[in-house]
Structure 1
Amino acid sequence: MKEQAVNCIKCRHFCITWDPAFPNGCRAYGFKSASRPAMMVKKSSGITCLKYEPKASK
């Protein structure tokens, strides 16, 4: 089974921060990063983000 890449932009936990050095944030994990949070989760833990939840459609 191949893992799907997580698109943080479509996740309800993704946020844009005011910090120019760390513009991408994840409310679920509670951190900011320079790259997309899902990439940082994959890089640090070796597994795909488990907190991904799609945004509610309008």
Structure 2
Amino acid sequence: MARHDPETGPKSGCVDCRHFFITHEPARPYGCRAMGFKSRELPCTVVLHSSGEPCLCREPRAASPESERR
């Protein structure tokens, strides 16, 4: 689970979560496949504001083969 700071939200955010995706929709550019929604804000921020808890669906992305070659 991501580390959490009550003032700023999850430290690592959604960018390195396997469920996060970019929608390419200007009105709702970010999405979460695990929770099934798109939003204007990062999904982890929406979850924190609506539930008061950090996102429990966060899973780190698998390392890509390209990053392992470096």
Same-fold call, TM > 0.5? yes
How many residue pairs get matched? 56
Which structure would you say has the larger RCO, counting Cα contacts within 8 Å and 6 or more residues apart? Answer: 1
- Unaligned 5+ segments in structure 2 are 5-9, 65-70
TM-score normalised by L of structure 1: 0.89
Give 1 or 2 for the bigger CA radius of gyration. 2
Query: Structure 2 CA distance, aligned partners of 1:18 and 1:29?
Result: 18
TM-score normalised by L of structure 2: 0.75
Alpha-carbon shift at residue 43 of structure 1 (Å):
0.4
Question: How many percent of aligned residue pairs carry the same amino acid?
Answer: 50
- Unaligned 5+ segments in structure 1 are none
Runs of 4+ in 1 over 6 A off after TM superposition: none
